Amino acid sequence: NAGVTQTPKFRVLKTGQSMTLLCAQDMNHEYMYWYRQDPGMGLRLIHYSVGEGTTAKGEVPDGYNVSRLKKQNFLLGLESAAPSQTSVYFCASSYPGNTIYFGEGSWLTVV
């Protein structure tokens, strides 16, 4: 009964370091998403994917890259982390035209 699983759950990075957040879903969903959540800002879409091998930019894509090599996985990369990327990151997935299900979040601090 895993649903959407994100790893790692917590990470502290130094400015300029790189890292990858992994999202895995076991619901065979076509669509996957990465959001970030900041105080007073709600959730904002970073990138999304409508299927294996495809990705697209969301509202706040700068500083992030993504890949969807397998249908069940959606990776979010930070090539050179900045303090402005300190946030809580949520992965989500859905069938086309259906409810979006969220993971439990990944807390990232860039110092």
**Residues at the site binding other proteins, with contacts judged by CB under 8 A:** 4, 31, 33, 35, 40-45, 48, 50, 56, 58, 90, 92, 94, 96-105
Least distance CB 98 / other proteins (angstroms): 5
Least distance CB 16 / other proteins (angstroms): 28
Q: Give whichever of 28 and 99 is closer to other proteins, judged by the CB atom.
A: 99
Q: The sheet that has 19-25: what strands, in order across it?
A: 4-7, 19-25, 73-78, 65-67
- Rounded to whole angstroms, the Cα distance separating 21 from 107 reads 10
Q: Give whichever of 17 and 73 is closer to other proteins, judged by the CB atom.
A: 73
